[in-house]
Amino acid sequence: MDIEKIKSEFPIFKQKIKGKPLVYLDSANSSQKPEAVIKKISNFYETEYSNVGRSVHSLAVKATNRYEETRDIVKNYFNAKHREEIVFTKGATEAINLVASSYGEQFINNGDEILITELEHHSNYVPWDFIRRKKKAIIKFAPVNKNGEVEVDEIKKLITNKTKMIAITHLSNVTGAITPLKKIIDLAKTKKIPVLVDGTQGAPHLNIDMQELGCDFYVISCHKMYGPNGLGILYAKKKWLDSLPPYQGGGGMIDEVKKDKITYAEAPTKFEAGTGQTAEVVGFSESINFIKRIGIKNILEHENNVMEYGIEKLKKNNSINIIGDPKERGSVICFTIKGIHPHDIATILDDDGVAIRAGHHCCQILHDKLGLTATARASLGIYNTKEDMDILCQAIENCKKIFKI
């Protein structure tokens, strides 16, 4: 695999940051976009753009076809059983809000329990908190162990006959831990509890087969998958989409509207109210093509090689503390440096063209547990190399020099 050639498909790397080559280590936050995705979007606007699913003119037909083709591409890529199980949303956050609201409205009642984990991003906690307040429900947090993982046994211990939902991340955006999803889903199935997987960090790096995984809901953030901003995907088993009430009302999602009665369209249209992210959906087809061309397993293998090299190198530095030591780690490395706050690290690294994220990464529950207010995070994409890790380590030396450590 020629990484330099793949990297050259990303126009963003043509520029210099503060006079230095860009070392982009913030893909867990948002990935960069290959030229094919950017071109697909501009080409769509230039030649095929119109609103979808409404008008009958030629452009409307073209645009609708492109939009619906992407649904098929997504369905096939993730091996969903039906194309109707793919709902386009404005992000993974909206997808979780949709499930929390529609499922919660119908199936969560006073005293019922929602089981999440201490690893969750705020997006997989706050929407459940809305339902907790509205329905006087209870949220239980499965604890993380010292390695930064959630064990199946901890989930098992917290399941009761009141548990109405298990909502869990696929891959932690802080510790990098990959959740033992299959075991959790199989366990939940024996208790007839639906499982929502926050696949925001999982989908860009891991091979996912929805039918094999067997979860009820899986949410995807397209902008972290080399795709456009403002687009997310909710995969949900057909039985849920058929039975859940709509999330938002508006144009497109209706069957018939009368003064005294409104009926809704079938899923997924029922959940796609208003004009959605047309060009973004169309553009995302090229992100999937890009990933398929390289192969998700090759992407994972490459990222793991770079990550392991980086971790070994960082570990040699006594001032660095790496957060978590999961058995299975995705390409996320959170760390702290004794005596330098993560924000200062991020600012100084930027001077060397190195883009990392600093802060609590929308995981305050986890940071509280770790006794930290913030961490620095380097996260990888297909375009990263071992040389990037060398530059990161060199830039960290610069931080230490400035702070006289």
Partner 1 sequence: MELKELYQEIILDHGKNPRNKGRCDKFNREAKGHNPLCGDKVQIFLRLDTNQKVVDISFEGEGCAISLASASILTDIIKGKDFNIAKKIILDFLEMVKNEAKITINSLSEDQKITIMSLSGVKKFPMRVKCATMAWHTLSSALKGKDV
**Is residue 392 involved in binding partner 1 (CB under 8 A)?**
no
- For 154, counting Cβ atoms within 10 Å of its Cβ (0-12 exposed, 13-18 middle, 19+ buried), the class is middle
Alpha carbon distance 397, 399 (integer Å): 5
**Least distance in angstroms from the C-beta of 301 to partner 1:** 34
Q: Of 255 and 368, which CB lies nearer to partner 1 in the complex structure?
A: 368
The amino acid present at 98, given as its one-letter code, is: L
Q: Of 351 and 390, which CB lies nearer to partner 1 in the complex structure?
A: 351
Sequence-distant (≥ 6) Cβ neighbours of residue 366 within 8 angstroms: 118, 119, 120, 144, 172, 174, 175
Q: Is 334 tagged catalytic? A: no
- Helices 92-107 & 126-135 angle (0-180, nearest 10): 20
Please pick, among 215, 222, 334, 362, the residue that the annotation labels catalytic: 362
Q: Where are the alpha helices (DSSP H) in 234-294?
A: 238-243, 278-294
CA-closest candidate to residue 232, choices 299, 169, 281: 281
**Least distance in angstroms from the C-beta of 15 to partner 1:** 18
Half-sphere exposure of 287 (CA within 13 A, CB side): 29
**Least distance in angstroms from the C-beta of 389 to partner 1:** 22
Q: Of 147 and 373, which CB lies nearer to partner 1 in the complex structure?
A: 373
Q: Of 122 and 162, which CB lies nearer to partner 1 in the complex structure?
A: 122
**Least distance in angstroms from the C-beta of 403 to partner 1:** 7
CA-closest candidate to residue 208, choices 308, 330, 115: 330
Q: Of 282 and 346, which CB lies nearer to partner 1 in the complex structure?
A: 346
Instruction: Report whether 333 contacts 310 (CB < 8 A).
Output: yes
Task: Determine the size of the site formed for partner 1 (CB under 8 A).
Answer: 19
**Least distance in angstroms from the C-beta of 344 to partner 1:** 5
For residues 336 to 375, the per-residue mask of contacts with partner 1, x marking binding by CB under 8 A and - elsewhere, is ---xxxxxx--xx--x------xxx---x--x-----xx-
Residues that bind partner 1 (CB under 8 A): 339-344, 347-348, 351, 358-360, 364, 367, 373-374, 402-404
Catalytic residue set: 362
